[in-house]
């Protein structure tokens, strides 16, 4: 094999090296695999079960516990029982009301006999060699929570597409949405070998192994969370802040179907996220609320017990988490009066509005003006003390910029922490409400009819017009 420099060689090396690791099987812990499901299709559910059976060394697999979260599909009733009755090690339990994935998983965990709990979604395919690295790592470090690399199974063809390139790690944005990231330099330097685990600030949520004892010590899950969402970030914060580590093992691969649509409503995710913010984020929860004004109004139940847990385990602050575990995440300043909707004085109730091309890319589109809706999201902007107009509900963050010879405002990527602001991204927000673009010496003006077909902020020679006056408003 050709040894190259750069990341490419690490990927190839890790794939090769993973295969040569010898495990002392008798010393590894045994695991119970817990799979909660709600109205899952027959083929994907059984593909998960059989792939676990076929790829897990017998000695490491205590059992598979299927937890039916009160499904109503017929194939999940008697036909499923009949199918698994001949499978050694597979057990099925049923919730007697809809519990949501948190309590469904806990139901499974409560009867698990293995020393380690391994959670999987019900539409996965485990890859040969997936289990050994997870068990080895937990044997080595009981307080490690370890995730496999999540490979992609095509949603249309169900083909195992695998995962090109270096495994990614988990992050978040200030809407408390989970994000994927490349492994940062600082982490790459810490690793001594391409088959070392990779620290990850957060987990996607569905696929991980944890010592049963440590899971219980950490307070398992927040049982006040319903249906879907939020529990992955809550657990990630808790692991790090309370003294554990969260890692991705590059040698462990499991495929997952990312469906276009779930067979259930995900409206409870908001309340779940609020619970996570209220318990773990300290004053940083305000950054979340600023970007999700409606979250402040969401009833989220009682979190007293979870706060007591945090107290009892003497967990660290969210500030510590940001500084030590996730320094790549830009922390907005959110100075009073400088964030929220960016409204125009002359054109009543029109706001800066930005619609990114997709979830993972904020760049390239023009900023427009749209009737203000007060829901944060695409109308949330922050003016920083570095004179940037940031679009920072998402990661990576966008900065309002002007392309050469253009009078339109286009979204660019913001500079990295520590770099200086590019000249075309600098706007002076003056006392009188004008937004002065230094480089072109022009002012941002609201225009009703533009070549874009909708109202937009454009660069014009500075004047006294109210169409050149802007102000921030936090809520409508």
As a residue count, the chain comes to 476
Closest alpha carbon to 23 in 171, 131, 144 = 131
Question: What is the smallest separation between the CB atom of 124 and Mn ion, expressed in angstroms?
Answer: 8
- Say how far apart CA 41 and CA 73 lie, in whole Å: 9
Stretch of 20-28, 223-231, 436-444, 465-473 lying at the interface with ligand UD2 (CB under 6 A) = 223-231
Query: For residues 121 and 234, which CB has a smaller minimum distance to Mn ion in the complex?
Result: 121
The one among 160, 180, 264, 386 contacting ligand UD2 by CB under 6 A: 264
Whole-number Å distance between alpha carbons of 244 and 237: 10
Q: In this complex, which beta carbon is closest to ligand UD2, that of residue 229 or of residue 398?
A: 229
Q: 3-class DSSP state for residue 36?
A: strand
CA dihedral for 337, 339, 343, 349, sign (positive or negative): negative
For tokens 């500084």, what's the residue? 323
CB-CB neighbours of 154 under 10 Å: 12
H helical segments located in 313-462: 318-320
Binding test (CB under 6 A) with ligand UD2, winner from 108, 114, 171, 229: 229
Q: Which stretch binds ligand UD2 (CB under 6 A): 30-38, 134-142, 275-283, 355-363?
A: 30-38
* 219 binds ligand UD2, rule: CB under 6 A: no
Residue 66 belongs to what H/E stretch?
strand 61-68
Q: CB under 5 to 8 A by kind: which of Mn ion, ligand UD2, none does 59 bind? A: none
Among the listed ranges 95-103, 116-124, 148-156, 330-338, the one in contact with Mn ion (CB under 5 A) is 116-124
In whole angstroms, give the CA distance from residue 103 to residue 158.
29
Strands (E), 331-452: 339-344, 350-353, 368-371, 381-383, 389-391, 398-401, 410-413, 427-429, 435-437, 442-447
The reply to whether 339 sits near ligand UD2 by the rule CB under 6 A is no
> What tokens does 66 get?
């299927």
Cβ neighbours for 304, distance < 8 A, ≥ 6 positions apart: none
Closer Cβ to Mn ion, 121 or 334, answer by number: 121
Q: Which is nearer to ligand UD2, 231 or 397 (CB)?
A: 231
- State how far the Cα of 65 lies from the Cα of 87, in Å rounded to an integer: 12
What tokens appear for 195 in the block?
Answer: 């088959």
Residue 443 CB, nearest approach to Mn ion (Å): 49
| 3-state SS assignment for residue 204 | coil
Check binding of 328 to ligand UD2 (CB under 6 A).
no
Q: Which is nearer to Mn ion, 45 or 456 (CB)?
A: 45
Q: Is 233 in the site for ligand UD2 (CB under 6 A)?
A: no
Binder among 206, 244, 340, 455 for ligand UD2 (CB under 6 A):
206
Binding mask 117-146 for Mn ion (x = CB under 5 A): ----x-------------------------
Say whether residue 270 binds ligand UD2 (CB under 6 A): no
The residue (of 204 and 362) whose beta carbon lies closer to ligand UD2 is: 204
User: One symbol per residue from 92 to 131: x for binding ligand UD2 (CB under 6 A), - otherwise; what is it?
Assistant: --------xx--x----------------xx---------
Q: Which residues contact 284 (CB under 8 A, 6 or more apart)?
A: 318, 319, 322, 331
Residue nearest to ligand UD2 as judged by C-beta position: 205
Residue 100, contacted partner among ligand UD2, Mn ion, none, CB below 5-8 A by kind: ligand UD2
Residue labelled with tokens 């070392």: 196
Please pick, from the candidates 137, 238, 256, 291, the single residue that binds ligand UD2 as defined by CB under 6 A: 256
How deeply is 272 buried, as exposed, middle or buried, from its count of CB atoms within 10 A (0-12, 13-18, 19+)?
buried
CB of 237 to Mn ion, least distance (A): 21
Per-residue tokens: 30: 């045994």
Contact between 149 and ligand UD2 (CB under 6 A)? no
Candidates 61, 80, 107, 150: give the one binding ligand UD2 (CB under 6 A).
150
Give contact residues for Mn ion (rule: CB under 5 A). Answer: 121
Give contact residues for ligand UD2 (rule: CB under 6 A). Answer: 36-38, 40, 69, 100-101, 104, 121-122, 150, 204-207, 227-229, 231-232, 256, 262, 264
């Amino acid at each position: 094999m050709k040894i190259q420099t750069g990341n490419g060689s690490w990927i190839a090396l890790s794939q090769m090296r993973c295969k040569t690791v010898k495990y002392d099987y008798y010393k590894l812990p045994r695991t119970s695999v817990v799979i909660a499901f709600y109205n899952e299709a027959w083929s994907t559910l059984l593909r998960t079960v059989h792939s676990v059976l076929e790829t897990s060394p017998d000695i490491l697999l205590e059992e598979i516990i299927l937890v039916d979260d009160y499904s109503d599909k017929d194939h999940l009733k008697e036909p499923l029982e009949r199918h698994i009755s001949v499978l050694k090690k597979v057990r099925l339990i049923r919730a007697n009301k809809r519990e949501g994935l948190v309590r469904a998983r806990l139901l499974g965990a409560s009867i698990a006999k293995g020393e380690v709990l391994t959670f999987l979604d019900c539409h996965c395919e485990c890859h040969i060699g997936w289990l050994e690295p997870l068990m080895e790592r937990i044997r080595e470090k009981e307080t490690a929570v370890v995730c496999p690399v999540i490979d992609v199974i095509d949603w249309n063809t169900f083909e195992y597409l695998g995962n090109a390139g270096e495994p990614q790690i988990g992050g978040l944005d200030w809407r408390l949405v989970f994000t994927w990231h490349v492994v940062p330099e600082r982490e790459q330097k810490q690793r001594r070998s391409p088959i070392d685990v990779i620290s990850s600030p957060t987990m996607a949520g569905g696929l991980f192994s944890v010592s049963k004892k440590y899971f219980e010590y950490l307070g398992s899950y927040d049982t006040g969370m319903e249906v879907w969402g939020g529990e992955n970030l809550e657990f990630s914060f808790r692991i790090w802040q309370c003294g554990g580590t969260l890692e991705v093992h590059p040698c462990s691969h499991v495929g997952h179907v990312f469906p276009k649509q779930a067979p259930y409503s995900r409206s409870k995710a908001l309340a779940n996220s609020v619970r996570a913010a209220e318990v773990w984020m300290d004053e940083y929860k305000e950054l979340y609320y600023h970007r999700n004004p409606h979250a402040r109004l969401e009833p989220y139940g009682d979190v007293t017990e979870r706060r007591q847990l945090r107290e009892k385990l003497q967990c660290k602050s969210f500030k510590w988490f940001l500084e030590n575990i996730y320094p790549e995440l830009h922390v907005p300043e959110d100075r009073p009066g400088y964030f929220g909707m960016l409204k125009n004085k002359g054109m009543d109730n029109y706001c800066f509005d930005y619609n990114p091309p997709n979830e993972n890319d904020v760049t390239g589109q023009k900023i427009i003006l749209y009737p203000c809706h007060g829901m944060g999201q695409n109308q949330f902007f922050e003016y920083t003390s570095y004179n940037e107009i940031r679009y920072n509900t998402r990661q990576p963050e966008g900065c309002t910029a002007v392309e050469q010879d253009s009078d339109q405002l286009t979204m660019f990527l913001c500079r990295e922490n520590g770099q200086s602001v590019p000249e075309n991204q600098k706007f002076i927000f003056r006392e009188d409400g004008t937004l002065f673009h230094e480089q072109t010496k022009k002012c941002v003006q609201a225009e009703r009819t533009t070549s874009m077909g909708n109202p937009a902020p454009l660069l014009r020679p500075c004047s006294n017009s109210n169409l050149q006056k802007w102000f921030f408003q936090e809520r409508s």
